[in-house]
Amino acid sequence: MADFDRELDASGLNCPLPILRAKKTLADMDAGQVLHIIATDPGSVKDFEAFAKQTGNELMSSGEEGGKFTFMMKKA
Amino acid sequence: MTEKKLAIIATKGTLDWAYPPFILASTAAALGYETEIFFTFYGLQLLKKNLNLQVSSLGNPGMPMPMPVPVLLQALPGMQSMMTMMMKQKMKSKGVASLEELRELCVEAEVKLVACQMTVDLFEMDTKEFIDGVEYGGAATFFEFAGESDICLYI
C-alpha cells in the first residue's frame, strides 16, 4: 500500500464537490506530495481522471473498496 | 500552459437552473479556467445575498414526480413551495451542494460575476441585495471576455 501525505474524505458528496474539495486540499500541499481521496460518487471515477489530465496532477491509482472509490493523486 | 477561458450567460432564475452555471463555473475554475458569468434577466436572481429560488413543475413535463399530479392541481397555491421543499430535501439527501456553497466556491476561485446593467435597471433591482464583488456591464462588456473564450455557454 502506497503512502500518502494528506487524506480527503469526500464520502456522501456529489458532483462537483469531490473535485472542488480535492483542488482546495491540493492547493495547500507541496509539489510531489500525495493526496488520498475517498469518495462515494460513482461519477468521481471518470471525473478524477479528467481532473488529472487537465491539471497535470498525477492520478497514481484509483480503486474501489466496499462501495467506496479511492484515489491517490500526486501534486504536480 | 496558457489559461483557457469559459464564458457563461446565466438567464434563468429557478432553483434547478441555477445549478448549471455555478457547477460549471466552479469546476472550470478548479481546472484552471479563467471564468466569467454574465447574469441577465431572471439570472440576476442568482446574485442575491438571500437566495430564495423556487422550482415549478408547471410547464415542465420532464420533472420527475413521486406520483402523477394533474397539471391543474399543480397550479394550486402552495404547490410550488412544496415542490421546492421536496427538491431541496432530495438534493440534500444526495449530497448535492447548496447553491450558496457553489456560489461561494466560485467567488473564492475568482470567477468574475457580471450583472447586466440593462436588466438591473429594467427590473429596478436593488443592487444592495446582491453579493459583494459583482461587476456591472452590458453586451459589449460580455463580448470583451467571451470573444477571447474557448468555451461559451448560454444557460
Residue A49 pLDDT:
95
Are the beta carbons of A54 and B97 separated by less than 8 Å?
A: no
Cβ partners under 8 Å of residue B51, min gap 6:
B18, B45, B99, B100, B103
Residue B32 pLDDT:
93
Are the beta carbons of A13 and B97 separated by less than 8 Å?
A: yes
Q: How far is B42 from chain A (nearest CA, A)?
A: 24
Question: β-strand A68-74 against A34-39: which pairing, if any?
Answer: antiparallel
Rounded alpha-carbon distances, angstroms, from residue A40 to A44, A45, A53: 8, 10, 21
Rounded CA-CA distance B36/B68 in Å is 39
In chain B, the percentage of residues whose pLDDT exceeds 70 is 99
Q: Tell me which amino acid residue B136 is.
A: Y
Contacts of A21 in chain B (CB under 8 A): none
Residue A19 pLDDT:
95
- What is the architecture of the domain spanning B5-55+98-154? 3-Layer(aba) Sandwich (3.40)
Cβ partners under 8 Å of residue B80, min gap 6:
B54, B55, B56, B58
Cell reading at B56: 415549478
* Annotated domain spans of chain B: 5-55+98-154
Question: β-strand B135-137 against A68-74: which pairing, if any?
Answer: unpaired
Question: Is B105 at the interface with chain A, CB within 8 A?
Answer: yes
Cβ partners under 8 Å of residue B148, min gap 6:
B5
* Annotated domain spans of chain A: 6-74
Active-site pick, A15, A20, A50, A76: A15
Rounded CA-CA distance A47/B49 in Å is 31
Are the beta carbons of A16 and B23 separated by less than 8 Å?
A: yes
**Ranges of chain B with pLDDT below 70:** 1
Residue B1 pLDDT:
52
Instruction: For residue B138, count CB atoms less than 10 angstroms from its CB and return exposed for 0-12, middle for 13-18, buried for 19 or more.
Output: middle
Question: Is B27 at the interface with chain A, CB within 8 A?
Answer: yes
Choose the mutation target among A23, A40, A49 for the interface with B, i.e. most B CBs under 10 Å: A23
B113 or A2, which is more confident: B113
Q: What is the ipTM of this complex?
A: 0.83
For the domain bounded by A6-74, which CATH number is listed?
3.30.110.40
pLDDT at A1 over 90: no
pLDDT in tens, A30-75: 999 999 999 999 999 999 999 999 999 999 999 998 889 999 999 9
What backbone phi and psi angles, to 5 degrees, belong to B152? Answer: -135, 120
Q: What share of chain A is helix, strand, coil (3-state, %, to 5)?
A: 30, 35, 35
Residue in chain A closest to B25 (alpha carbons) equals A16
Q: Tell me which amino acid residue B76 is.
A: L
Q: Rounded mean pLDDT of A11-25?
A: 94
Q: Predicted confidence band at A2 (pLDDT cuts at 50, 70, 90)?
A: low
